């Protein structure tokens, strides 16, 4: 498979750019999250609700990755975020150079946290670092409870898993404990939030974590209680 | 982007292999479908219900594509399909050479239709032909009604769109007409099925179409009434 051979230098170059982004954000005491999921798991709605709840408390800058359309950027901008849209025109994931260029267009004054919403894709984005301090994978209760086992790489590289659409649990066959067990078997340090953007359930805990994360007090290594807490 | 330059010969080689597969299946009067969707849209459950309903009437062979696990193959095999599992171990889409190898292991005697279930990914599989006679994109009512506009390539290359999880419509904000309008704007010849694998609604029409398709009487060009029927 020549593709694999070729991909390594590209990934290495991406890693270098990602490191540069991370350092440049760190110099401004700004931390970044990379949010990933299947199409339709609810990333954009989660960001809308998050920005609304944290307005006046934490300024959020959002880089919106989409293959086409500016619809998501318009939604989070309306919610109150500083926003830049990246359209990849076919590409299945964001790469660090796209984020670097987008950052040139983002007014960072007043921003306390940078969130990058990746392309809806549970596979490819896992391989491309974007300069984030932590990665968040969003799953939803309507996707089936076998996703960690079937797409393990995404759960292995993430620090946080959000389980969204709790409000739909009564109407679907979804074993919440099974999903958490599968995910933690792949990545025992995964921090887990369960929430519903529709009812608001669980959003407070998520938003509090974001505030702490933005202040540099939370990262993947500072959740020692999670494996016991969630099983 | 060196990736794009490199990808062309690989895609061309894939196209050649896909043509060979198609011809070899045609020589046995066997037609093939390539089923694609986001993770969790319900491809495997649709195949389970389909195989059960058509048992004794149409023998179905299934090539199951997954990054990891054999869970899906076990499900459709239990439903009554001849099945081979492909595990891509990280790769985000099936390629024609994988299907060619899988076909070596599939007992085609008694099979009247071949179905290839692709990796759950609404982006990458669209670029890789597998020797199929038609492509089916499955969306579900819990994914948001903006998917055709945001992932247009998948809808442009498909002949059929299945809208699954109709039973969850009362609990989500999903504009069925908007989805159909968006999809048909991208691809006016798209044939559309609306169904629920949970209640069985719409499965009869889908299964009847499969039988006709397997007999070689249906393809992308033989649905002249669809754009008016569905709008």
Q: What is the pLDDT of residue B219?
A: 57
DSSP, collapsed to helix, strand or coil, labels residue A167 as helix
Q: What's residue B100's pLDDT? A: 98
Per-residue pLDDT at B196:
98
Which member of A123, A142, A147 has the closest CB to residue B119? A123
Q: Please report, in angstroms and rounded to a whole number, the separation of the first and last CA atoms in chain B.
A: 41
Question: With contacts defined as CB-CB under 8 Å, which chain A residues touch B90?
Answer: 153
Both tokens of residue A11?
């990934």
pLDDT recorded at residue B5: 43
**Contact residues on chain B for A42, CB-CB shorter than 8 A:** 144
How confident is the model over A23-33, as pLDDT tens digits? 999 999 999 99
Question: Hey, what are B102's tokens?
Answer: 């899988």
Q: What percent of chain A has pLDDT over 90?
A: 88
Taking the CA of residue A115 and the nearest CA in chain B, the distance in Å comes to: 20
Residue of A92, A125, A173 to mutate when probing chain B, most B C-beta within 10 A: A92
Residue of A nearest to B152 (CA): A68
pLDDT of residue A9: 83
B171 contacts A67? CB cut-off 8 A: no
B171: phi then psi, degrees, rounded to nearest 5: -105, 0
B150 to A92: CB separation less than 8 angstroms, yes or no = no
Q: What is the model's pLDDT at position A227? A: 35
Query: Which pLDDT score is estimated for B9?
Result: 82
pLDDT at A219: 56
CB contact under 8 A, B39 and A172: no
Instruction: Evaluate whether A127 touches A11 at the Cβ level (below 8 Å).
Output: yes
Helices (H), chain A: 2-26, 43-54, 71-79, 96-104, 147-150, 152-157, 176-186, 203-214, 226-229
Whether B38 and A167 lie within 8 Å, measured CB to CB: no
Residue A6: pLDDT above 90? no
Structure confidence at residue B224 (pLDDT): 36
Q: What is the pTM of this model?
A: 0.91
**pLDDT for the residue numbered A5:** 43
Distance CA B158, CA B35 (A): 9
Distance from CA of B8 to the nearest CA of A (A): 11
Min Cα–Cα distance to chain A from B151, Å: 7
pLDDT in tens, A118-157: 999 999 999 999 999 999 999 999 999 999 999 999 999 9
Q: What is the pLDDT along chain B (231 residues), one digit of tens a residue?
A: 233 344 678 899 999 999 999 999 999 999 999 999 999 999 999 999 999 999 999 999 999 999 999 999 999 999 999 999 999 999 999 999 999 999 999 999 999 999 999 999 999 999 999 999 999 999 999 999 999 999 999 999 999 999 999 999 999 999 999 999 999 999 999 999 999 999 999 999 999 999 999 999 765 444 433 333 333
Residue range A9-19: average pLDDT? 94
Which of B39, B167, B168 is closest, CB to CB, to A151?
B39
CA distance A117 to A139: 14
Q: What integer pLDDT is reported at residue B16 of this predicted model?
A: 97
Mean pLDDT, rounded, of chain A:
92
The whole-number pLDDT of residue B8 equals 74
Predicted pLDDT of residue A224: 36
Q: Per-residue pLDDT for A225 more than 50?
A: no
């Amino acid at each position: 498979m020549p593709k694999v051979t070729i991909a390594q230098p590209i990934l290495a170059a991406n890693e270098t750019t990602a490191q540069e982004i991370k350092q440049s954000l760190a110099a401004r005491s700004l931390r970044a999250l990379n949010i990933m999921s299947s199409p339709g798991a609810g990333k954009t709605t989660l960001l809308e609700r998050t920005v609304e709840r944290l307005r006046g408390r934490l300024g959020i800058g959002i880089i919106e990755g989409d293959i086409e359309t500016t619809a998501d950027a318009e939604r989070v901008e309306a919610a109150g975020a500083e926003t830049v849209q990246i359209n990849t025109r076919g590409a299945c994931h964001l790469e660090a150079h796209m984020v670097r260029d987008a950052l040139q267009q983002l007014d960072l004054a007043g921003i306390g946290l940078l969130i990058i919403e990746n392309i809806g894709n549970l596979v490819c984005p896992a391989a491309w670092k974007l300069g984030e301090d932590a990665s968040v994978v969003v799953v939803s209760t309507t996707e089936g409870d076998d996703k960690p086992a079937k797409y393990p790489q995404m759960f292995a590289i993430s620090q946080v898993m959000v389980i969204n659409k709790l409000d739909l649990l009564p109407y679907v066959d979804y074993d919440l404990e099974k999903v958490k067990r599968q995910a933690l078997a792949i990545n025992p340090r995964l921090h887990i939030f369960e929430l519903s953007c529709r009812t608001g359930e669980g959003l407070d805990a998520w938003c509090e974590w974001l505030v702490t994360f933005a202040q540099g007090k939370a990262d993947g290594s500072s959740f020692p209680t999670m494996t016991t807490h969630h099983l």
